[in-house]
Amino acid sequence: MTDRIHTVPTEPFDGQKPGTSGLRKKTRVFMQPRYVEAFTQSIFDAIGGVAGKTLVLGGDGRYFNDRAAQVILRMAAANGAARMIVGQGALLSTPAASNLIRRRGADGGIILSASHNPGGEDEDFGMKFNGPNGGPASETVTDAIFERTRTIREYRIMDAQDVDLSRLGEVRLGDTVVEVVDPVADYADLMAQLFDFAAIRSMFARGFAMRFDAMHAVTGPYARELLENRLGAAPGTVVNATPLPDFGGGHPDPNPVWASDLVDLMMGPNAPDFAAASDGDGDRNMILGRGIYVTPSDSLAVLAANATHAPGYARGLAGVARSMPTSRAADRVAAALGIEAYETPTGWKFFGNLLDAGRVTLCGEESAGTGSDHVREKDGLWAVLLWLNILAARDQPVDAIMTDHWARFGRDFYSRHDYEAVPTERANALIDRLRGMLEFLPGQKFGELTVAQADDFSYVDPVDGSVSQRQGIRVLFTDDSRVVFRLSGTGTEGATLRVYLERHAGPHADHAQDPDQALGPVIAAAEAVAQIREHTGRDRPDVTT
């Protein structure tokens, strides 16, 4: 057996540094000889080896998913792993992988995904490591992985044919058991424990109509099983349900830009009652009602305010957490419920400690991510099911639920402007300039708005005391409007500048205003503070969500 195990020399590759969510690069970068191998061995080495360990493996089905999975299996075998639990066809949504790691008591998992980024030979690919709690590796672990990538000189791999991942069951690769599992079953069972399936089923039976757009990505099989098979939604409710290696040529990103067909449907005369979409790897969600788009920040707040309708949350919430750029709508709900609200840096990994410590039950990000303590990742279908549970319990349409919510808590008008593929030096110059101005900003007027406070967000993890600095420039105005500037940590080309804009309108204000109009003064102040045009050379954002 051992003669099949080879130690292969390699040079370290530059830039194998995990970002906001694992290592993300152009697919062709990952396709270079030894690239996946060097990164995989670095993960294994950084976690103290995988001898005798059990890992979960799966991905979102994008181009190169199957090839990378086979390499990782051969390497896990050569490194002495006891068991590899792999989704059939090397598929696993990110939340389903998180659930499997937890349910099976695995030592961690490798997820192959670049999330909502497009897939294909000329597009993007990604790899990330999740720890034994099922969540994205902490910064300590990702730093250790990166350090290892800089010094790695060899990797171990077994000579073997591809494992047949189309067949459920166990096979052996050397001494390693490769267990191919149904990627949907355990996850669907977990959802059935959390939500009132009987109530949702009876809502569908009464004629409630919805559309779920899987965007040709991994949630297709999950949504079919849950919505159509288990909950009785009409056949055809789930569209674009077959995962494709290039996601049909689009961006599998559930937002009003990339899922514009769904938005058009919901704003048109033939809109069903409810619509939703999820992203490449199934952790994001978009929520729409007839004639209304619910921003992710509002969705988190509504879910927090209504979660007790679902059996899994009937005992109430321990607390809520949101990433810093997410609107403060959820904080208002937490204050009303008398529970703790936490503000963390961007990226799901910062929620892990709070969830593990039982300090929060729900978390969310403005980037279409919502989740709870049921797994350690954000979870697109979970959010859709919690919405369905709430709609069934309240027996009201989405727009009425939103109107009620704003009348109670006020409305946080919100938008994010992205400037993509900006030359890195220019984007850095914009942020550096803002950093240099921070102490002088309070008291200055920009158009109608006066700065109350400004800082570069830094976070002290309340559980382990670890500090994360330089997480985004926050400018708060005296009328409680806010703008945040930060550079993306997931892009694969140049820099992406994200400008997060928000303005609070109290419970008695006009909530029916057009968000762009309501945000007008904040948008103008953001330009005046940061001189975005001058720095980026762009006169408008590439993507507005």
125/197 with CB nearer ligand G1P: 125
Binder to ligand G1P among 142, 285, 299, 346 (CB under 6 A)? 346
149/297 with CB nearer Zn ion: 297
Task: Decide if 115 is catalytic.
Answer: yes
**What is the spatial distance between Cα 213 and Cα 210, in angstroms, rounded to a whole number?**
10
By CB under 6 A, tell whether 347 contacts ligand G1P. Answer: yes
Q: What angle do CA 138, 50, 358 make, to 5 degrees?
A: 35
Stretch that binds ligand G1P, among 183-191, 346-354, 432-440, 463-471 (CB under 6 A): 346-354
By CB under 6 A, tell whether 115 contacts ligand G1P. Answer: yes
247/274 with CB nearer Zn ion: 247
Report the Cα 43 to chain-centroid distance in Å. 21
219 binds, among Zn ion, ligand G1P, none (CB under 5 to 8 A by kind): none
Tokens of 482: 């806010």
Binder to ligand G1P among 41, 88, 367, 370 (CB under 6 A)? 367
Q: What is the DSSP letter of 348?
A: G
Least Å distance between CB 78 and ligand G1P? 31
Q: At which residue do the structure tokens 């970068």 appear?
A: 29
By CB under 6 A, tell whether 323 contacts ligand G1P. Answer: yes
Tokens of 224: 């079919």
342 binds, among ligand G1P, Zn ion, none (CB under 5 to 8 A by kind): none
Query: Would you say 292 and 272 are in contact if contact means Cβ atoms under 8 Å apart?
Result: no
CA 208 to each of CA 254, 264, 276, 360: distance values in angstroms, whole numbers, following the listed order = 22, 19, 14, 32
489 binds, among ligand G1P, Zn ion, none (CB under 5 to 8 A by kind): ligand G1P
Query: Which residues contact Zn ion by CB under 5 A?
Result: 115, 279, 281, 283-284
281 binds, among Zn ion, ligand G1P, none (CB under 5 to 8 A by kind): Zn ion
Cβ neighbourhood burial of 183 (10 Å; 0-12, 13-18, 19+): buried
405/498 with CB nearer ligand G1P: 498
Stretch that binds ligand G1P, among 250-258, 401-409, 482-490, 533-541 (CB under 6 A): 482-490
Dihedral (CA of 507, 515, 429, 126) sign? positive
Q: At which residue do the structure tokens 């059996």 appear?
A: 311
Dihedral (CA of 267, 271, 274, 277) sign? negative
**What is the spatial distance between Cα 69 and Cα 129, in angstroms, rounded to a whole number?**
13
By CB under 6 A, tell whether 419 contacts ligand G1P. Answer: no
Which residues have a Cβ under 8 Å from the Cβ of 153 and sit 6 or more positions away? 9, 10, 11, 12
Q: For residue 200, give the 3-state DSSP assignment.
A: helix
196/365 with CB nearer Zn ion: 365
**What is the spatial distance between Cα 84 and Cα 107, in angstroms, rounded to a whole number?**
10
283/379 with CB nearer Zn ion: 283
Query: Would you say 448 and 478 are in contact if contact means Cβ atoms under 8 Å apart?
Result: no
By CB under 6 A, tell whether 348 contacts ligand G1P. Answer: yes
279 binds, among ligand G1P, Zn ion, none (CB under 5 to 8 A by kind): Zn ion
Binder to ligand G1P among 88, 117, 278, 488 (CB under 6 A)? 488
Least Å distance between CB 368 and Zn ion? 9
- Residue 499 carries which side chain, given as an amino acid letter? V
118/347 with CB nearer ligand G1P: 347
498 binds, among ligand G1P, Zn ion, none (CB under 5 to 8 A by kind): ligand G1P
Report the Cα 385 to chain-centroid distance in Å. 17
Contact positions with ligand G1P (CB under 6 A) in 47-106: none
**389, HSE (Cβ side, Cα atoms, 13 Å):** 26
By CB under 6 A, tell whether 490 contacts ligand G1P. Answer: yes
Least Å distance between CB 437 and ligand G1P? 22
By CB under 6 A, tell whether 545 contacts ligand G1P. Answer: no
Least Å distance between CB 182 and ligand G1P? 26
From the candidates 21, 115, 297, 372, give the one annotated as an active-site residue: 115
Query: Would you say 95 and 187 are in contact if contact means Cβ atoms under 8 Å apart?
Result: yes
Instruction: Count CB-CB contacts under 10 A for residue 9.
Output: 9
Contact positions with ligand G1P (CB under 6 A) in 18-47: 20-21
Least Å distance between CB 17 and ligand G1P? 13
By CB under 6 A, tell whether 489 contacts ligand G1P. Answer: yes
Least Å distance between CB 116 and Zn ion? 5
Tokens of 418: 């992205």
40/488 with CB nearer ligand G1P: 488
211/284 with CB nearer Zn ion: 284
For 258-307, the DSSP string reads TTHHHHHHHHSTT--SEEEEE-TTS-BEEEEETTEEE-HHHHHHHHHHHG
By CB under 6 A, tell whether 365 contacts ligand G1P. Answer: yes
Query: Which of 280, 309, 295 minimizes the C-alpha distance to 388?
Result: 309
**138, HSE (Cβ side, Cα atoms, 13 Å):** 16
By CB under 6 A, tell whether 494 contacts ligand G1P. Answer: no
H or E segment at 439?
none
Chain residues in the site for ligand G1P (CB under 6 A)? 20-21, 115, 323, 346-348, 365, 367, 369, 488-490, 498
Write out the catalytic residue numbers. 115
